Amino acid sequence: MKNVALGCLLVLLGACSKLATPPTAKMIPHETEEFGTKRVDNYHWMRLSDEQKNSETPDAQTQDVVAYLNEENKFAGQYLDPHQKLQDSLYDEMVARIAQDDESVPYNANGYEYTTKFEAGKDYPMYYRKALAEAAEAELLLDVNALAEGQNYCGVGAISVSPDNKKLAYGTDYVSRRIYNVYFKNLETGEQIADSLIGTAGPVAWAGDNEHIYYLMKDPQTLRNDKIYRHKLGAPQSEDKLMYHEKDETFNLGLGKTSDQKYIVAGAMQTLSSEFHYIPTDDVTGEFIVFAPREADHEYEIDHMNGTFYVKTNRDGAQNYKLMTAKAGNTTPDKWKTLIPARKDAMIEGIALFNDYLVVNERVDGLLSLRVINEKDKKDYYISFPDSSYTAYIGVNREPDTDVLRYNYTSMLTPSSVIDFNMKTGESDVKKVTDVPGYNRDDYESERIWATVTDGTLVPIDVIYKKGFEKNGEAPFLLYAYGSYGNSMDPGFSSSIFSLLDRGYGYGLAHIRGGSEMGRQWYEDGKLLNKMNTFTDFNDCAQYLIDEDYTNSDNLFAKGGSAGGLLMGACINLQPELYKGVIANVPFVDVVSTMLDETIPLTTFEWDEWGDPRKEEYYNYMLSYSPYDNVEAKDYPNMLVTTGYWDSQVQYWEPAKWVAKLREHKTDDNLLLFKCDMESGHGGASGRFNRLKQTAMEFAFIISLTEPNSES
């Protein structure tokens, strides 16, 4: 082992040019042509169908693909395994910052108090409840640790108690494809009910009779949520009534209930349009009612309280959304009434409904705020927060007849906190600040800085480092971003990142265009034919950190996952010299091929995000940045690429092909490591501790490149 570690160290010191010969994937040309442009994909053969992956007798192609993935894992191990001691140290540090015994703040719903607990040494939660009307003992609803026994992966969803509090529905996913089998438990006896729903998408909603349940199904090939059924407990699933079938392949379905539990809601959504249907919870024989028919470029969401529907909508040019109201049976848009007009300087994110108050989660100047409106006198005010950069969002509020708002608060310096705010008196009651053993806030500093990017736009970056961090251009630094789907990466607390900060690293979160941090226009400026802004923003943020002496290109690392993995691939094709190393998790890198293939999961309803490459303008633009298509003969940074064999969001073959093509073309001797978890999917390993092993591996990769003499 010492000789292996020494050999690894010699590699880092330059005494040895490279590791043992990396895997060489076979090349089988696969030619396609669109709009007169020919593309040759030498690694198309790596793509397997679900049938091939699930077959008990793998065919020759499956054997070849698995053999290649195993070779890559083995090759990565040659570098990573000698650093196992460092990985173990990092893992132990991260675990030590997690309270072994932990319990959520209880919330009340329908006469019960609900909590979630973790026990020492256990990876998964345990769900409890206790009756409010009597001095009852806490009742164990579900122990996910028991469900996970003997499983390599365990995902649990669809946890829902019936309106009469006597039955529990829950779903399990043991493959990490986000396909759940739903089971039922009799809470009076503790026994399982002899019934199940196989192959659901996860979400369920109980009808008011406690015997019917609505559930969501996926298309088995595309994994698009496309059907909603109504099931009667005890009846065969084959006899379930199809309540809604979304035939438009660009729309995806969601299922839930309104805040007052009076309506079951089905939402059909795409990037630029939405349509909601509702049915009274107590109606177990009726059909869904259309709230407002879908229209191009009209996005809306609905909720209900005290006989009024609340509608968040971008109708009539309300780019940052406005809030309107409507009545059941009279919900056509021309009957809606404006409650909160749209503003250019504030974007409505969400609302919480109470009998006497309305709370609006607004995004102002790149930060989330909480606006409280008294429904009686219409007076309003904003809750104040202690940090200059933070995240505040509405928490679990299941009881409308109260003056107390529960919200969650966090910042880069503040662990996740649960706060009860009295909307009448303005008093705050901090119910919980997540316990982080060994953490001292006073040891660290955080700041929000603004990078001026290529077109003059100011892009915010949240930065954190340990006090004493010198801005002399020499410190190592990790920069993270996402930048797609309008998803905002708000500043929050990460206990794992302190393993880098305590070693002198800085960490930054770049709020690049493609998210919605600065409002809806921020998103519009980073999608479709503006997508290149996302990539140049990130590189410009990296350059800003270098110019301002936070780091230098020999010590700067970048990380992104999924669409953020696409970001990584595009950025290093544009300016590879900016980075010492890059970590790309489950990266969406073969953009053109995937968006051209309607059979691949999640493709069709993402055309409004990336563009429809069946149209020449979008095809050519997409081709200009697609990481896989733009790999060329040049030097690339050190790279660690990860994926999951069972990934349902970004199929494993995208990063596999990308790595093979990089190996074929890159002209450097830098590291290119590829790890494919053969047991997991898009979200990686399950369990609160197990998932930290990958983080420890990633940090060890970074540390080994900046500190060649680090323990290994």
The C-alpha angle 614, 620, 626, rounded to 5 degrees, equals 100
Strands 638-644 and 581-585, bridge-based pairing: parallel
Cα gap 169→512, rounded to integer Å = 40
| DSSP secondary structure, 582-651, as one string | EEEES----HHHHHH-TTSTT-GGGHHHH--TTSHHHHHHHHHH-TTTT--SS---EEEEEEETT-SSS-
Q: Which residue out of 562, 593, 680, 704 is catalytically annotated?
A: 562
Q: Using the 8-state DSSP alphabet, how is residue 577 labeled?
A: G
Tokens 């900060």 belong to residue: 501
Secondary structure of 637-654 in the HEC alphabet? Answer: CEEEEEEECCCCCCCCHH
Cα gap 488→512, rounded to integer Å = 9
**Do residues 388 and 403 lie in contact, with contact meaning Cβ atoms separated by under 8 Å?**
no
Question: At a CB cut-off of 8 Å and minimum separation 6, what does 79 contact?
Answer: 8, 11, 19, 671, 673
675-698 in b/e form (b: 16+ CB < 10 A) is: bbbeebbbbbbbbebbbbbbbbbb
3-state SS assignment for residue 416 = coil
Q: Which residue out of 389, 411, 682, 712 is catalytically annotated?
A: 682
682 is catalytic: yes
Q: Tokens representing 649?
A: 């969001």
Q: HSE, CB side, 13 Å, CA atoms: give it for residue 633.
A: 0
Strand partners of residue 345: none
AA identity, residue 695? T
**Do residues 197 and 214 lie in contact, with contact meaning Cβ atoms separated by under 8 Å?**
no
Tokens 């830098």 belong to residue: 670
Tokens 């997991």 belong to residue: 680
Strands annotated E in 320-366: 322-326, 337-340, 347-353, 357-364
Q: How far apart, in Å, do the first and last CA atoms of the chain sit?
A: 10
The number of residues in the chain equals 712
Cα gap 530→621, rounded to integer Å = 9
Q: Which residue out of 462, 540, 647, 677 is catalytically annotated?
A: 647
For residues 204, 206, 212, 217, the Cα torsion angle rounded to the nearest 10 degrees is -10
Cα gap 510→567, rounded to integer Å = 12
How would you classify residue 613: left for phi > 0, otherwise alpha for psi between -120 and 50, otherwise beta? Answer: alpha
CA 606 to chain centre: 16
Strand partners of residue 608: none
Strand partners of residue 373: 358, 380
442 is catalytic: no
CA 709 to chain centre: 35
By CB neighbour count within 10 A (0-12 exposed, 13-18 middle, 19+ buried), where does 31 fall? Answer: exposed
| Residue among 601, 614, 508, 527 nearest 566 (CA) | 527
Report helix, strand and coil shares of the chain as percent, to nearest 5: 25, 35, 45
Active site residues: 562, 647, 682
